[in-house]
């Protein structure tokens, strides 16, 4: 929420995609998940629940994983809830972050991308 409050006016958009594939952490309906997120202060769009791994993975996440698979061995699946992707305004993935990465650890990358896009 901090990053959205700080950089939303500069063009940062956050889209949340709840997923129940990780220990059943999102068992509620889409409406229940949205209500929970809003109670926690979410002011950004919270989408319907999706699958992010496996044969039924949403096409967006299949593409994001393919576009950001790096390392050895390549990181393919999202290992747990709260995986994060930084995408430029043209829809090109810029960076992938582990579920354990704090959103605040992305701040310098977000600032750099916003500054780059402000010059365009």
pLDDT at 48: 96
Task: Give the mean pLDDT of the chain.
Answer: 91
Per-residue pLDDT, 119? 84
Query: What's the pTM?
Result: 0.87
- Do residues 58 and 50 make contact, with C-beta atoms less than 8 angstroms apart? yes
Q: Which token pair is 50?
A: 């999706």
Non-local (6+) Cβ contacts of 107 within 8 A are: 3
pLDDT at 74: 57
State percent of the chain over pLDDT 70: 94
pLDDT in tens, 33-84: 999 999 999 999 999 999 999 999 999 999 998 888 665 455 688 989 999 9
CB 53 within 8 A of CB 20: no
């Amino acid at each position: 929420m901090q990053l959205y409050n700080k950089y939303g006016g500069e063009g940062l958009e956050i889209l949340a995609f709840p997923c129940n594939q990780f220990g059943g952490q999102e068992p509620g309906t889409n409406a229940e998940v949205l209500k929970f997120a809003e109670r926690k202060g979410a002011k950004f769009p919270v989408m319907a629940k999706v699958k992010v791994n496996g044969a039924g993975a949403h096409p967006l996440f299949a593409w994001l994983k393919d576009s950001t698979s790096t390392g050895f061995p390549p990181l393919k699946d999202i290992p747990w809830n709260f995986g994060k992707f930084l995408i430029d305004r043209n829809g090109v993935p810029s960076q992938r972050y582990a579920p354990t990465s704090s959103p605040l650890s992305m701040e310098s990358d977000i600032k750099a991308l916003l500054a780059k896009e402000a010059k365009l």
